[in-house]
Structure 1
């Protein structure tokens, strides 16, 4: 199972700090300690040198990231030269968690080190509007489609061993220098995010599981889904209303016929940590990145002529036009492969200039859908055993830290979708829609203090609410990894590996995601996922 990292995720949520007795005002002395403690052991020259190198690298990253005259913060590791290279083997459009996962796996699996130039293009380098960092950070095994279950299991295994970084003398070592534990992990040791001599990655995982509640009319469907999950190796249990009340006394079980509770590899973690870890590792392997927006393409269709009265059947992308931030200037980048990992804007990307109308069919049915997340404090709310609860009404919540803080939300009906043109929050939605449903399910929430709130985007696939992964049917060197409709964060490690295998080997090897490809769009056959929250 994934393990909790103690000392993280306090009142401030992910990344929050905890205050221990004796730490106040920086004294470092607690009750019962000697007033004259012995001095700490002297640090060895190698330890001191390592600390100084880390400090120097941190300062260098921060200074280089700012750049001359930028006037705004960008993540550490941003290149000094804002322009992309003129050529790249693979251009990944979208620097969210899926895009960086694709880039990482391309370099981790390449046959010859530094044999391929990979470029990641991200139009929002501050990630202020990125779906990745604005999500609730959940990971679960409880899906209805085997492909989604397989991706969740792969990602859980990947995250469990996230700090493994390489092989020394035939043995596996972690980024901290200790032995690596890879029991049950299907990945080879170099395929993780630890970077030698760098601080270990702490995703602040909270292994509290997911709890799905079903009404009498939905009970049969939930039980059928659990049967599929168990066949795929998921550790999940069904609870009757009586068993549910015994395990979670704070739940009102009225109108609940059955519940499913994940026992392993479910909970939530810090999305920002995973994103930065993927970017750090990919950059250490040689991946390039730039801040810009792909708004145009040049294809081989310009060199071809379709038979009279017939549409062009296929073409290749020769170049992408990367527009610089706050500028009309663009840089053409010649490339062999393009990966569309643009998330909520993946469909819009395929409407860009330079793509012939005949090659855009079928259209990619992915659009941004705005989703709100609200936080609140409830002194008498559920404690440490609180799972990520999904109510019969679709409302959800989870614990945030350990001091009576929670966050949650609910997807609106199709006819009440909010305007996605900005990320403003409708606070009445919490007061009128979310809060009453949660207070009915958890009576303690009848009295709570609302906190902060924010909005983010689902990359909503209106066709069947499932990810689209694989090559485009007419643009021969374009691959897509988008449309996960809210579960892209947890499936990013698996989807990135799958796309990288298609690029490097021409086939799926680790996970067969063929059914998530374009064929279902061409044939008009939805592959519906019933577990979208």
Structure 2
């Protein structure tokens, strides 16, 4: 696979030093691949080394292949293969990371013929890419999951774990720390600071970024820069005069307990948008749903919408799983989706009009699961000028200016 994603034609010059703004999982993964696979010197600038508000630390961290676009399916397959072998891939000395990956599947439910048609269309696409999903009738659902209310359903789509595909969840913070430790072991420098401006050479044609200025007064010279600042990527790109439609959109997560053993249950997505999945401990679960009302930017993370659970989530849970009629909420928190409002897909690649500026952001809730494949692809593009393993050009940033959205129908 060789696909050159460059908006101009020029002789490629391998960068000696890459500066990555953002040390979450996407930035850390890109740094690791650059250093480990390409021998490039990398500095990562991360404003908060505690990752207190980072999506990488606050996500429920699931992975799936039940997408409606081929590129998202391929990225997820490649990333799953990496996560399955992360204990060896990112081992440092005698320390092998454990991200607790489990693969009980995703179960999408449809309550209308329109919803069932969409599941069938996606099933056909997924089958073309060796994704194994089972389409289950209401009777099939009831037989497989006797705890599930199926009387109002038309169809269900369950992701199955095979050599080429699998769906489930993992510890996202552990994955972030594994990439970070691996990158440091490979020679990457992590600097706790805030990138506030760039030094740019502007010519009649394309421009070049020469350095990154930080809040603590550093000027870090760079042969290439990467913006991987998650929900804050648009603010960083604005310093380059680049507009990215990436917004910090809050999502609330609730933990609850119920007197039922569903540890083998999949991550279930109700037709209403409410979802839940079991935890490792018997009778413990996580759940959430889309927000009520308008999806507003930058809502503080300490403002968890408690009424969302009482008014929206609990009634749906109790109707779908009668055993959830009596449950106890034990905790809750909020994290940001780095929402790409243009088409809810990642923005990956070069940032025009710069010859050496790149981004990996806007993944709209599936960044953690896509980090290995995207990090590897970005590293290839930066170090060689081409995608060598998986062609990520469908996610190119230029599709915004072209008015050509890559629409993903299967967003939760």
Q: Same fold (TM over 0.5)?
A: yes
Tell me which residue corresponds to 1:274: 175
Q: Which moved more, 1:385-394 or 1:408-417?
A: 408-417
Tell me which residue corresponds to 1:249: 146
Residue of structure 2 aligned with 1:513, choices 383, 388, 392: 392
Aligned residues: 393
| 1:300-333 Cα shifts (integer Å, max 9, x gaps) | 12xx3x5xxxxxx531111111223xxxxx2011
TM superposition shift of 1:136: 0.6
Residue of structure 2 aligned with 1:220, choices 107, 117, 122: 117
Counterparts of 1:496 and 1:416, CA distance in 2: 28
Residue of structure 2 aligned with 1:148, choices 63, 72, 86: 72
* Closer, same or farther: CA 483–419 of 1 in aligned 2, 3 Å: closer
What SS does the corresponding residue of 1:504 show, helix, strand or coil? helix
What SS does the corresponding residue of 2:149 show, helix, strand or coil? coil
For structure 1, which runs of at least 5 residues remain unmatched after alignment? 1-86, 165-191, 307-312, 325-329
* Closer, same or farther: CA 421–452 of 1 in aligned 2, 3 Å: closer
* Closer, same or farther: CA 400–480 of 1 in aligned 2, 3 Å: same
For structure 2, which runs of at least 5 residues remain unmatched after alignment? 1-14
What SS does the corresponding residue of 1:508 show, helix, strand or coil? coil
TM superposition shift of 1:94: 0.6
CA contact (8 A) 2:301 2:335 kept: no
Q: TM-score, normalised by structure 2?
A: 0.92
* Closer, same or farther: CA 427–416 of 1 in aligned 2, 3 Å: same
Tell me which residue corresponds to 1:290: 191
* Closer, same or farther: CA 88–420 of 1 in aligned 2, 3 Å: farther
TM superposition shift of 1:520: 1.2
Tell me which residue corresponds to 2:10: none
Tell me which residue corresponds to 1:25: none
TM superposition shift of 1:199: 2.4
CA contact (8 A) 1:88 1:334 kept: no
Tell me which residue corresponds to 1:98: 26
1:434 equivalent in alignment to 2:313? yes
Tell me which residue corresponds to 1:367: 247
| 1:279-301 Cα shifts (integer Å, max 9, x gaps) | 11111110001101111111012
| 1:142-201 Cα shifts (integer Å, max 9, x gaps) | 11111111111111111111122xxxxxxxxxxxxxxxxxxxxxxxxxxx21123x2222
Counterparts of 1:395 and 1:209, CA distance in 2: 16
Q: Which moved more, 1:435-444 or 1:457-466?
A: 435-444
| 1:192-249 Cα shifts (integer Å, max 9, x gaps) | 21123x2222111122111111121211011101110110011111101100010011
Tell me which residue corresponds to 2:7: none
| 1:400-432 Cα shifts (integer Å, max 9, x gaps) | 122200001011266254752443212111111
Q: Which moved more, 1:246-255 or 1:408-417?
A: 408-417
1:238 equivalent in alignment to 2:135? yes
Counterparts of 1:473 and 1:349, CA distance in 2: 15
| 1:101-151 Cα shifts (integer Å, max 9, x gaps) | 0000001211xx5xx320011111111101011011111111111111111
* TM superposition outliers: structure 1 runs of 4+ over 3 Å: 416-419
Q: TM-score, normalised by structure 1?
A: 0.72
TM superposition shift of 1:88: 7.2
TM superposition shift of 1:351: 1.5
CA contact (8 A) 1:367 1:459 kept: yes
Tell me which residue corresponds to 1:63: none
Residue of structure 2 aligned with 1:117, choices 30, 38, 41: 41
CA contact (8 A) 1:423 1:456 kept: no
Tell me which residue corresponds to 1:319: 211
